[in-house]
Chain A
Amino acid sequence: MAKSALLKSSLAKKYWMAFTGLFLCLFLVGHLAGNLQLLAAGEGARDQFNEYALFMTTNPIVRVLSIVTFASILFHVIDGIILTVNNRKARPEGYVSFKPSTNSKWSSRNMGILGTVILAFIIIHLINFWGQMKFGGLDDTVYQTANGETVKDLYTLTIRTFQDAEMGLIWAIIYLIAMIAIGFHLYHGFGSGFQSLGINHPKYNTFVRRVGVGFAIIVPLLFAIIPFYIYFVLEKI
């Protein structure tokens, strides 16, 4: 009984949702730390970012982490779809009048829609950068850094994408919309993950809630600043 309980029950699905979700929160912190290097200027910035990108694509530990990250996203999406389908089935005939806004927050009721926006963004984002790095789009941009490392020029691709005369600002706005969706997703998801894992204690609830709200505002905001900074402030290349 116990084994199937940990895989098939409604609660098990919630544990996996929470576990993968909170792991992806950690991923966001790591990804943000890397991306913030894009705010630096000058020739050194290009070398630094490209060496960092090389490290992130070749280091075995990072490779394992990236596989776990992709698996988490996949699991989070599939689990989310299964839960949503089950939830729809649980109320086959809806209400004529239903006022959920009187008793719950918008973000908590629209995690599926927010998640779909985020998934669409992840696909766009991977095509923009990860695909170029991985599947040869950047193969002819290989050069030697001051440290003698042979790197692909992901830095120039990133800067040019957001400084493009026609598309740069549009990309920045698309990224901003995605970050707003991630913000709302985190606003509910962060605390909800703790609750699903049973971590709810009067002594720590306020702390978890505050960290969650802070996380949901600060992380997406810092991500969203980068494309606009590149478009408006950073020296054109």
Chain B
Amino acid sequence: MNLTLKIWRQKDAASKGGIQTYQLGGVEPDMSFLEMLDVLNQELIDKGEEPVVFDHDCREGICGTCSLQINGEPHGPDRGITTCQLHMRMFKDGDTITIEPFRAKAFPVIKDLVVDRSSFERIQQAGGYISVNTSGNTQDANSIPIPKDKADAAFYAATCIGCGACVAACKNASAMLFTSAKVSQMALLPQGEVEADRRVLAMVEQMDKEGFGNCTNTGACEIECPKGISLENIARMNREYLRASVK
């Protein structure tokens, strides 16, 4: 496959970036999108040029590190996947592919396609945990009965890998899907329920502080989420927050 790549290049956080066009040949349909970028970078290095900087780690769709807005969609045109799971067979010979960083005020660009997503970590640190000392006195898991539907809902919420595709896809750059998944996974279980009020208030406050936009229920996040996190979580967080606020 021969491709035309339009890639966002930016020297550092302070510099002004822009789109640069590259021609790349010899791309195999079985390559992952990141492997295609590896091939491009090898060519750039061979020519003595600066390679394109992009985030990646596990390359098996579980760490949430790889980002990229590909042809106007986070993680590209396929559904339920991260960029490392996107294969070049999704594209045709001669295609032009636009590759940009995730865009949000709360996700500032560090270099080229890499953005700083530590705002997600600060939301998590604000309350996305359970204050229980578990060392040495761990109970048997089955001693606390949990209804299957709640356990399932908590599990699905917990599959969020914090990649930021929800923010990237949202026209308002809202982090509601991420925050609500983290709120839900704990609020649904008895261990997390006791701190649910404090948690939801603190996490939403941090989310607002980071400068994310507001949810307008377009549903784009749910469609683009590699883990299929449901909008039900956002409704649950709306409920949790309302209840905690009036108390």
Residues in chain A within 8 A of chain B (CB atoms) = 1-3, 5-6, 9-15, 83, 86-87, 89-100, 102-105, 108-109, 111, 188, 191-192, 195-200, 202
Contact = CB atoms under 8 A, between A and B. Distances in A.
A216 to B, nearest CB: 15
B169 to A, nearest CB: 6
Interface in B91-130: 98, 100, 103-106
B187 interface: no
A153 B69 CA distance: 61
B217 A196 contact: yes
Given A94-B103, A108-B216, 4 more contacts: A2-B244, A9-B204, A96-B100, A102-B72
B105 A92 contact: yes
B2 interface: no
Q: What are the 6 tightest A-B residue pairs by CB atom distance, in nearest-first order?
A: A198-B239, A200-B235, A90-B213, A99-B72, A87-B172, A198-B238
Given A95-B69, A97-B71, A1 B201 contact: yes
Contacts of A92: 105
**Max chain B CB contacts within 10 Å: which of A5, A108, A191?**
A5
B132 interface: no
B220 A95 contact: no
Contacts, number: 149
Given A2-B201, A95-B100, A195-B231, A90 B173 contact: yes
B57 interface: no
14 contacts: A2-B247, A5-B241, A6-B245, A10-B212, A14-B214, A83-B214, A87-B213, A91-B103, A94-B103, A96-B19, A97-B69, A192-B217, A195-B217, A200-B234
A91 B204 CA distance: 19
A184 to B, nearest CB: 13
* Central interface residue in A91, A93, A99, A188, by most chain B CB within 10 Å: A91
A206 to B, nearest CB: 13
Which of A86, A95, A100, A111: most chain B CB closer than 10 A? A95
A109 B171 CA distance: 8
B242 A197 contact: yes
